[in-house]
Structure 1
Amino acid sequence: SKHGRERSKYYNKGFEHDDRTMVPHDGTRRVSFKNHGRRNNKHNRQRGWDSKIRALLQDDDVEMNCNSRSSERYNNANVSRKQRRGFHQRLDRPSGRRFLTESPSYWYKVTIRYGGRYEKDYLLKLLGNYIKPLPFIPIGYKVTSNDATFTIEDHNAAEELLNADKRITVNDGFKINLQVRSFNPLVEIGSKITETMTKVMSSRYNPYTKALDLSKFHLDTNFLSENIFCPLNKENVMLAVIGIIYESIPDLVALDLSNNKLSSLNCMKSMVEKVASLKILHIGQNKIRDIKQLDALKGLNLEELVVDGNSLCDKFTSKDEYIRAVRQRFPKVIKLDYVELPPPILFDVEDEDCKLPPSQASFMCDPDRGASVVRAFLEQYYQIYDSDSREALIQAYHDSAQFSLDCVLLPGQHSSTCSAYLPESRNLFRVPSIERRIKLLKVGKNKIVEALKSLPNTQHDPTSFVVDLVLFTPVLIELNVCGLFKEKDKADSAVKYFNRLFVIVPVGTGFCIVNEMLTIMLATPEQVKKVAKLKEVATASISIPVAPGTSTALTLPVELDLATKHQMVTALSLKSGMNLIWSEKCLAETNWNFDQALNSFLQLQKTGS
């Protein structure tokens, strides 16, 4: 009946042994224990026994003692507790294993709580043995507030140390408390670190090949022995290294920066100027992710480059694409990642042709005709300008000439040093008013001379003059002259710098100024020193006696025409760096003997006179 079937269904639930089964077996009886009572009875003492017994049966060394229930209960609890706490073999990666996110800076700081109580070598040996065979290289070990800290670079080793927390027992019975976290180191470049860096770089430099090996820079034994953490992927460390190279080995040819965890090359931009001789660069096995990082080094004439081992290499679909990207930045590369490349296709232009021409002390667009005109104009103009009266300058200006004055103060300079010029300064950055701009522009020779007379009396230094004749035609001359001067009325007056731009037109048998712009500012110390040195050399070269025996025969002076003298003055100015006025005086003192004048100048320049 239905009632009987239901009774039979519940009657045998957990109270009788039932070995009936339709599946053939080997005769071994099966045992099944089931909970008694209602399903939701939370106080059922039978609940969970099946899992406990299974845990016991998994142990091969279970003690089968039916008379010792207390021992059985103890073993059950012990196994269960071990499972909850995760007592497994360390290399089995238990379910409770902790994972460490990879550090953006690629460094990890390990802290050993109360590690200061133990010897350094003893602790490090314990940790190294525990994480074998992973690499374990502690850097910058130190003890602070009884805690020991150090830095490591290997992510797997750092994660293994994280999971070693409270699993290593020291000799006094305590377990080591380990803390591991990502670490962005702050490196202060002091005298000690700079001295050690110089020592490291000196030991890694090959003077015969002019090669410097800075691979794994932070792992150098000199750093490790002194517990100095000096990673090359920190910007201030890299800049310090470049500074040492610039001062000690500016002719460096080969540099190896591999295995330094470099992710950015922006801090290496200064190498383009400071290590311009570099031909070979190894930056492989780093953390460079984008080929655009190499843009920071554009300008280096690299012939060999190693980038292999950086993730940027994986972004190229073909070898040719990779080579093109590199040669866009370094056209002369013939060896890439240790592989010889086909010769690059370059314009047949020598390097010397690509360089800017050297600057000249003075420039004459037409030295044959313009030099004499310029020299005569400047001598007459400044002879009057530096006199007690500037009234005669009215003859030098055109009736409709225009004149403007501009006074510039550099940051940190006090306005009192240029107080005589600032009220009339027409600096368009400082004078926004259109009406005032018009008022400050002097139009007509009378107003111009009145403005010049209102300025302090001056004494210009001809040895400081740099003259550029930009344009010289029969109808128009553009002349620029700059140099140094002092104010006569002030004994303690600071040396000032001037720049004067003249636009000149021929009028009758002479010339007149139609436009002038005068800029005045304080001279820099470098300008004053440079002019003083040039003045010493030029003055000495004029009065130096001719060495005996330099001439074997007495030669009568040959009268030179004016055009030839102008050419000689210009040529000596270009070769010596002296301005036109001192070049002419030097030639006149040596009887217009060009070679003698130049040799005298060079001789005194070498001796530093």
Structure 2
Amino acid sequence: MEQLKLTMNKRYDVSHKALDLQSLRYDPGFAHLHINIILNRRSCMAATLQIIEKNFPELLSLNLHNNRLYQLDGLSDIIQMAPTIKILNLSKNELKSTWELDKIKGLKLEELWLEDNPLCHTFPDQSMYISAIRKCFPKLLRLDGQDLPPPTTVNIDRPYISKPLKESCNGSDVLKTQVLQFLQQYYLIYDSGDRQRLLGAYHDEACFSLTIPFIWDNPAISSLFEYFKDNINMEILKDPNLHFQLLKYTKHDIVSSLCALPKTHHDLSSFLVDVWFQSERILCFCVSGVFREVDGRSQGTLRAFTRTFIVTPASNSSIFIVNDELFVRDATPSEIQKSFSIPVPTLSQEQQEMVQVFSTQSGMKPQWSQKCLQDNEWNYTRAAQVFTMLKIEGKIPEEAFKQIP
């Protein structure tokens, strides 16, 4: 502990309140004493955090570059022991999933470095990567050395402010970024299982409507029965008063209605977005795509949807939904074929057997078992430990598990 403290003192920049612990295990101060300080060991990380808490209580920047960190369990105590940290460098480590970042999301980071970690290559594009990281650190201003665009938040609990949209949206590129960020955040929450968090996305007096196709022969046999009670299709409703009653007014009624709909998993890569009207105080755009139902009698069923949002500026870069129109139908064979199209790598016989055993012992579906093993480099013991930990923390979605007859 004394040698570790001495080494850390040498690596501390007083003027910037910055501690540089990159490649700590190779520090010459440990070599002649035959001490191995390996920060991916919980004991070593715990000792390091103890010294930080006692000796650097106002630490603003911590550099953990190149320390072979493959999980952040040991670092999770930093939230209590060094809550002042604003800059964290985790680049060139072995982090494979953003799940690890959930363990330190209590930090109010403004700058984060993650480049050269395996998790950086798990996203189809940069915007998805930024959106996932911002889920953990909403106040983040810089990522991997690049300034981030202002976040379009949907978790708003502030009074409505009428402010021209063009003040925060200068040009088509910025507008496109704003809309895409909004949709990514919205559906990240919508698919999370906790749709109550969408309350902040809607204006107090917003309106929501749901429509499904009309089946002429026998509407009751439609596979969309779980959406039927809220359907406002005018071909079905001859009473205009009933049509009015089925509209959802106020954000609380809207979110309550959304919570009653089947749980979903949207295929973001299927989204097509059309911004069809923009003025100083209003923005109208339409998004269509495909989603899978993940619970209820129609679990696993693929649906197609079209959703029209009318939004108005709230404050800063945030926006409020004032009108939300959702149309749901069965997906066509072509849409089903193209949806959730993730290439599946060829597995060896040994890996296939490992997936089968892991699926049996964990109770997870084979594709989820395979992902868990792949994320842990086919180390069965490590994969089992990670699975157990995530299951205890409730971080594995219900759709990952096999249905019990």
Work out whether the TM-score is over 0.5.
Answer: no
TM-score of the two chains, using structure 2 as the length reference: 0.40
TM-score of the two chains, using structure 1 as the length reference: 0.27
